[in-house]
Amino acid sequence: MRWDSLLTAEDEPDGESGDESGGESALRRPTRRSQAPLTLFDRASVARTFETPGFAGMTFYEVQAKSIINRVPASARVPFSWTINPYRGCQHACAYCFARNTHTYLDLDAGRDFDSKVVVKVNAADLLRRELAAPRWRGEHIAMGTNVDCYQRAEGRYRLMPGIIEALAAAANPFSILTKGTLVLRDADLLARAAEVTDVGLNVSAGIIDKSISRSLEPGAPDPDRRLSVCAALNRRGLPCGVLMGPVVPFLTDSPDQLDLAVRKIAAAGAVHVSPIVLHLRPGAREWFLGWLRRHHPELLGAYRDLYGTGAYAPAVYQRRVAQQVARLASQYGVGRASPAAARRVQPSGPTRPVQVGVQLSLL
């Protein structure tokens, strides 16, 4: 995505912030910046800030996207072909996020800018409805949360996902969501209605169970226990939810005891499946993560050089070992084993297009 593929919301009056709800009364009404337009944009941008602790230091660039369903490059190592990304940049600020480098496509940096400058596609739902209705669209599975989290904190303000879910449900188009955010529970009723007419895949990302490491590596994300409580709540609601156990961070979260604790907690949350993902160090994420490692665990720099070399992936033998350990633990603790919640799971009420189960679990 480039800035020249976007239009800005120039027609919004100064001082107007769109739909305001009583729940947002603590937010200062945002205003258009008075300085000259950012050179990042072809046209004057709408850049907003909010005077609340949850958004301190953040800038949101509201844009009118030209397209919303994105084709995944054929070279990508993922089992899906289409995604929706209503946001670019992410307040979760995960040091390892593989999507960091995509911010450089916008003439922003992959570090602090990725964490604090978020592009918001404010017309996402309307655009999606048009694209789903286009004759050329064939109703393929769409993955969300596979680039940046669609339920990051900004979603509480912009509320893009309800319209997106409603559009997908109206078209009976299969989709999946991967998230670290607790806001997904807000949309549980919408997801249940969508699951009556199409396949809906839900997964929570929770790979780092140690809270001290999580706070350091994922400072803007809900803590791991809260994420697993989301998994439990969705399953109780009759919406099958699994866990992407990622990333497994070599030398920090990969010991037998740590893997055992993680899978035990995942099983206790009622996850219908678990899939471990070992840390990937793609460009952008590599530099930012190794900077974090240098500050917090300099003694591990040599071990990481030995394990990763100049590549993005840990050796296949290491990845297989982790996968086999987690598979044994999942069997031991009954991940995916039938439970009372299984009988209440929402099933599509009519014919739906096929979708790969757990399609988003290999996204990293």
For residue range 256-313, what is the model confidence (pLDDT) as tens digits?
999 999 999 999 999 999 999 999 999 999 999 999 999 999 999 999 999 999 999 9
Q: Transcribe 135-195 into DSSP letters.
A: TT-----EEESSSS-TTSTHHHHH--HHHHHHHHHHTT--EEEEES-GGGGGGHHHHHHHH
Q: What are the sequence ranges of the domains in the chain?
A: 1-205
* 8 Å CB contact between 87 and 152: yes
Instruction: Mean pLDDT check: name the lowest of 22-26, 159-163, 301-305.
Output: 22-26
Q: Residue 280 and residue 94: Cα distance in Å, rounded?
A: 13
Provide the mean pLDDT of the chain. 83
- Answer for the pair 92, 54: CB distance below 8 angstroms, yes or no: no
pLDDT at position 45, please? 59
- Confidence at residue 109, expressed as pLDDT on a 0 to 100 scale: 86
pLDDT(10) > 50: no
Gap between the Cα atoms of 121 and 8, Å rounded: 9
Tell me the per-residue pLDDT of 226-266, one tens digit each, with 9 for 90 and over. Answer: 999 999 999 999 999 999 999 999 999 999 999 999 999 99
Least confident span in 60-69, 269-278, 345-354: 345-354
CA dist 181 and 187 (Å) reads 12
- Residue 54: pLDDT band (50, 70, 90) is confident
Q: What pTM does this model have?
A: 0.82
58-72, 103-117, 291-305 — most confident range? 291-305
Nearest alpha carbon to residue 83 among 195, 177, 172: 177
